[in-house]
Amino acid sequence: MSERFDQGMKTRRAVLGDAHVDRAEAQKTGFDETFQTFITEGAWGTVWSDDTISRRERSMLTLALLAATGNFEEIPMHIRATANTGASREDVIQAFMHVAVYAGVPKANHAIKLAKKTYSEMENDV
Average pLDDT, the chain: 97
pLDDT at 1 over 80: no
pLDDT score, position 120: 97
Angle formed by the axes of helices 55-68 and 75-85, to 10°?
170
Give tens-digit pLDDT for 29-52.
Answer: 999 999 999 999 999 999 999 999
Domains and CATH numbers, the chain: 1-52 (no CATH), 54-126 (1.20.1290.10)
d(Cα 38, Cα 45) in Å, to the nearest integer?
Answer: 9
pLDDT at 75 over 80: yes
